[in-house]
Structure 1
Amino acid sequence: MSAVAVMIRISILAALICCTATLAAAADDLYRAQTVVTGRGEANRTVGFAACLADVLVKVSGAVKLADDPRLAAYQSRAGDFVKAYSYHDQMSGTPIRDEQGTRDRPYDLIVDFDERKIDDVLKALGVAPWLSHRPLLAVLVEMGLGATHYIVTADAGLSAVAPRQSLLASSARRGMPIVLPDAAALAKSGIDGAGFAKLPPAALAARATELGGEVALVGRLKWDDSDLAWAAEWQMQWQGRPHRWQLRGVTFDEVFRRAIGDAAQIISDNGDPA
C-alpha cells in the first residue's frame, strides 16, 4: 500500500472518530423505550406502555420478528406490570398553554424503564433469550435515489438528507444497535459518491463501509417508486462469512430504516433471517 493510500485511510478513520463515539452509545439503556402520547392521562399512558413493551422486547432480544408475534397481545394488555419507572418530556416545552385543553392535547415523549428480570422472563416464555453480549458497530452506507437525484446519507448530511439521517439514528436507538455513518469528506477520499454508488460491486461496497469504522457493513439502496408512491429498498450484509440480502417495498423511509436496523440485529443475534 502506498504512503498516499495509507494517509487517506487514516484520514477517513479520524474523520469518523467523533461520530463513532456518539453513535456507539445507541445500544445503552436496552430496557428503556419511548413513544409519543397525547397528554398525560392514564388511558394514553396505558397505550404507550403497550407500545414501549413491544419495542423493548425486540430491543433486548434482537428478534424483530417478535413485533408481529400474536402472543405479545396478552403481555401488552398488562404492560404496566412490567414498568419500573416512567417520565414525560413535553415536545412543546417553552410554548405557552393557550387554552384549557392545552395540557391534555400537548404531545409528550413517554419514556419508560422496564424491570430487567420481568422482561427477561417474558422473553423466556416467548422462547427468545436476551441478547446481552457485545453488539457490533454497524457501518451503514445508504444510497437514496429520487428521480435523477442520487445521494448517500452522511453524518454531516445536507438539507436533502437530514431527515433520512435522523431517521437512521432514531432506528438505531429504537433497536439498540449502534451505527456509524460516513461523512462527506470521508466518502470523497474513498472515491464513493451517489452517482457511482450503483457501479460498485457488493464486495467493494462492504469493504469500503467497513473501512469507515464499523465492525459490520450494512449497505442499502433506496429508490422512490412513483407508481407505489413509496420507497423500494435492497439491503445486504455479510455476517460470519455468510451473505444476507433482503428487500422491502411500498414503505416510508422511516419504516425502511427501522426494519433494516432491526433485521441486521436479528441476523447478528442469531434469531434468524429477515422475513
Structure 2
Amino acid sequence: MKTAEVVIVGGGIVGSSIAYHLTEAGCKDVLVVERESAQGKGSTGKSMGGVRAQFSTAISILMSLYSIPFYAAFDERLGYPAGYKPQGYLFCATTEKHLAYLRANYEKQVALGLQNVRLITADEIRGRFPQLRSDDIFGGSFCSTDGFVDPYSAMTGLMAWATDHGATLWKRTALTSIRRDGEGICGVETSRGPVATRKVVNAAGPWAAEVARMAGINLPVEPLRRMLVPTEPFDQFPHSAPMIIDMSTGFHFRPEALGFLLAWNDPDETPGFKTDFEP
C-alpha cells in the first residue's frame, strides 16, 4: 500500500503552496491528489490573481505580510516565474460608511506592520485616473506593494519546486473516501488505490465541503459564481493602473496583457456549481 506523511487534496494554488511549504520545511513524503488531468481547472485558473495586504482581519493582513515579499522574490527563490506586478490596489469609497471602513482597516494594517498603505482623497484619485467616473467617490485606500500575479504560473512554479524536491503529484486521481480508526484519520481511498496516512489537508476549493464530509466534518463552504471577462486590447486607460475596486458594487478591474480583466458578482447569486456566464 502507498504511504504518505501528508496527503493534500487539491492541486490548485492553495494545494501547490502547501506542498511547497511542507517540502521546503523538510517533509519529503508529500502526496498531492488532483482529480483533473491538469492543475488549475477550478478557482485558480479563473481568478484575478490579486495579491494584497489591504484586509480587515488580522490573520489575513499577517499572512499577506508574508506572502507579498514571498511573491516579490518568487522567481529568484524558486527558479520559476510568478508574474508578480506590484501595481497596487485602489479601493474607492463611494459612501461615508465605506470611507470609515477603510480608515479603520488602515489603522489596523499600519498597527500590524504594513508600511506602504495610505488613505487618499477623491481629488487624488481624479487626478491620477481622470478616465474614471468619480462624481460619487469620497476617497480611497491605496497600497503600492499590492498587485497581482499570474495565478497559473505561480501554481505550477510552486508545484514544480515541490516535486523537484520530493513531493508527488497524482493527476486524474479522485478522492473517494477518508478512512478513520481509533486514533483518527488513518488513510484515504482514491481512484488510484488506497494511501495510508495520518495527515490529510483539505485544499479542494469549491469542493472543500464535500471532502470535509468524508471526514465527518461539516464545513460551511459553498461555491458562489462570479463573473470574469477579458477585454479586447485598448489603450484608453493606463496599463500601469492598479487593481481598482468600487466598494459599492464590488466591480473591479486590472490590466491584463493589452487589455483589462473585469470582474463582478451578483449580490443575489445563490450557491451552486454554475459556470455559465450572465452579463
TM-score between both structures, scaled by the size of structure 2: 0.29
- Judging by fraction of residues, say which structure has more helix: 1
TM-score between both structures, scaled by the size of structure 1: 0.29
Higher RCO, 1 vs 2 (CA within 8 Å, ≥6 residues apart): 2
